[in-house]
Amino acid sequence: MLDFVQQLVSGVALGCVYGLIALGFVLVYKATEVVNFAQGDLMMLGGFFAFTFIGMMGLNYWIGFAGAVAAMALFGMLAERIVVRPILGYPQFSIIMATIGLGYFLRSVAGMIWGTDDFKIETPFSQGVLRIGSLVLAHDKLSVIAATVILCALLWLFFNKTTLGTAMRASSENMLAAYYMGIPVKRVVSIVWAISAAVATCAGVLLAPITFIHSNVGLVLGLKAFPAAVLGGFGSIPGAVVGGVLIGVIESMAGFYLAEGWKDVAPYLVLLAVLLLKPEGLFGLHARKKV
């Protein structure tokens, strides 16, 4: 039983990271119907920025964290301006390929700048553990869970209660109509990319104590975040986090109870099952063209 709870908590922590990356997908998807295959790589880059600020320049953890988030928000806007904006409105596949290309580019450049070693960021949560009876919970894992819940709540409020959030949902439905209603669609898209890069950075920094930061971490985790996003239903903010947690728990349970090899496949098996049985996911809406 203790093992089970232990696995459950570490699965939830891992799942929260997937959920945070999936949140990035969902934000961009909600606002522009574009899927960003470079989301994991944005996370990786955010982790490296934070490592540069904290590990190499010796800044305070929180200042470095904030600096990395700000830098990555700017970077997200830049990436949107250069790569995505010229092809908005073209078939989804073009944008998927463009972001795959962007991911390739970021991964290689990060490898060139920071090398291919693993890096670790010293955080205030690295050492401590929380003991409940004989259950041992590491602070770094708890910090991921707490941050995910907070970020998810903030983003949900942002999307559903603020004017800018409403503008984003509107431009997702119909960019032209939104533009005619006075919504600056280009700026909205730009802001969405900034937010999603910032969320990715949070994921990267929080992840750093659990899995180390290296140039391929984005690819590995980014691809695991897809099942999370699909399970939750693309386009639903709470869905992304719930999906992420479910995938994380399934993965960590499969790693513990099933034979070797199931751990890596389980998320994708779940994904295929979801796509077969309920393609719109747990919280998603199914849209169909009406003639």
Partner 1 sequence: MRFLFKTDYEDDIRLFPHSGYVASYGLLLAVLLIAPYVLSSYLMSQLVFVCIYATVGVALMILTGFTGQASLGHAAFLAIGAYTAAYLQKYNVPFPVYFLAAGVLTGCIGALVGFPALRLQGIYLVIATISFAFIVEEILARWESVTNGNEGLRVKAVSLLGVTVSRDSPTFYFLCLAVLVLTIVGTLNLLRSPTGRAFVAIRDSETAARSMGVNVALYKVKSFAISAAITGFAGVLFAHKLSFISPEMFTLQLSIEFIMVILIGGTFSLHGAVLGAIFIVMIDPFLTYLKDDMPGIIAGIAATFGAGTATAANIQSKVAAFASLNGLKGAIYGIIIMLFVLFEPLGIYGRWLKIKLFFQLFPLYKRATFKRQKIYVKSERNR
**Closest distance to partner 1 from the beta carbon of 179 (Å):** 8
- Between residue 8 and residue 67, which ones bind partner 1 under the rule CB under 8 A? 33, 35
Comparison of 62 and 180: residue with beta carbon closer to partner 1:
180
Stretch that binds partner 1, among 58-66, 139-147, 202-210, 256-264 (CB under 8 A): 256-264
The closest of 9, 274, 242 to 137, measured between CA atoms, is 9
**Judged by CB under 8 A, does residue 92 bind partner 1?**
yes
Query: Which listed residue (86, 124, 128, 184) binds partner 1 by CB under 8 A?
Result: 86
Kindly write down the DSSP assignment for every residue of 89-150, as one continuous string.
TS-HHHHHHHHHHHHHHHHHHHHHHH-SS-B----TTSS-EEEETTEEEEHHHHHHHHHHHH
Comparison of 140 and 251: residue with beta carbon closer to partner 1:
251
Stretch that binds partner 1, among 118-126, 153-161, 171-179, 189-197 (CB under 8 A): 171-179
The closest of 36, 73, 34 to 223, measured between CA atoms, is 36
Comparison of 123 and 171: residue with beta carbon closer to partner 1:
171
Query: How many CB atoms lie under 10 A from the CB of residue 284?
Result: 20
Query: Which listed residue (96, 164, 253, 282) binds partner 1 by CB under 8 A?
Result: 96
Query: Which string of x and - marks every residue 186-205 that binds partner 1 (by CB under 8 A)?
Result: --------------------
Query: Which listed residue (127, 160, 162, 174) binds partner 1 by CB under 8 A?
Result: 174
Beta bridge partners of 135: 132
Q: How far apart are CA 209 and CA 227, in angstroms?
A: 24
Query: Cα 60 from chain centroid?
Result: 24
3-class DSSP assignment, residue 278 = coil
